[in-house]
Structure 1
């Protein structure tokens, strides 16, 4: 499982985020890995989060490479900085895209003890 998949699964499991209680809108993530396109649709209704794998219409569309999406999901890349560098393209409501940045970890998560790549 990629870090991006884990990120969206955590959003699905959480279901609600009080930081978004005044937010209604949708964000589609178009994530490219070479010639492969993976799409995730995040619907926000007063803090209720619903995530689906869909290419449907959205208030905001975020285009990003799989590498940058995974790095953001691990807390290694700041979304605003990535937008500034042109690594993320936003079409639609930029303020909603910037708010979505709050959902991503702010710093890398420590390796889990059961992670074979952690060396423990």
Structure 2
């Protein structure tokens, strides 16, 4: 299973993230791997998370490659930097898209012992 799929499934299991307590909206991640497209729809209601695989309307759509998504999940790549370099394209609500960076580990957190996404 790709680390991005495991990451989004873990978000679904968590159900609430206090870092997003002031956020309300929906974001879809369109992750391209060659000809294959994996999509994750994230609905946020003041920290309550609902994550579902698949397509659906969203206020912000982030389009990125599997390599970029996996690097973000592992804490190796900052989402804002990737957006500025054109590695992530955003359609819709940019402010909402930028808040998604809170979900991904920082490089320091990714290096912590036991972090599920860090490369060993």
Same fold, judged at TM 0.5 (above): yes
Equivalence map 1:62-81=2 (5 Å):
62-81=62-81
Confirm whether residue 105 of structure 1 aligns to residue 105 of structure 2. Answer: yes
Question: In the aligned structure 2, how far is the partner of 1:13 from the partner of 1:104?
Answer: 15
Q: Which moved more, 1:2-11 or 1:42-51?
A: 2-11
Question: In the aligned structure 1, how far is the partner of 2:88 from the partner of 2:23?
Answer: 22
- Which residue does 1:43 correspond to in 2? 43
Q: 1:12 to 1:109 in 2, by over 3 A?
A: farther
- Which residue does 2:93 correspond to in 1? 93
How far 1:18 moved relative to its partner? Answer: 1.4
Superposition CA RMSD, Å: 1.4
Q: Secondary structure of 1:51's partner?
A: strand
Q: Secondary structure of 2:30's partner?
A: strand
- Which residue does 1:7 correspond to in 2? 7
Structure 2 unaligned runs (5+)? none
How far 1:84 moved relative to its partner? Answer: 0.5
When the two structures are superposed, what TM-score results if normalisation uses the length of structure 2? 0.89
Question: In the aligned structure 1, how far is the partner of 2:101 from the partner of 2:93?
Answer: 13
Q: 1:98 to 1:111 in 2, by over 3 A?
A: same
How far 1:109 moved relative to its partner? Answer: 3.7
Question: In the aligned structure 2, how far is the partner of 1:70 from the partner of 1:102?
Answer: 15
Structure showing greater Rg: 1
Cα offsets for 1:51-77 (capped at 9, x unmatched): 001210000000000110011011000
Q: Which moved more, 1:86-95 or 1:11-20?
A: 11-20
State the aligned residue count: 114
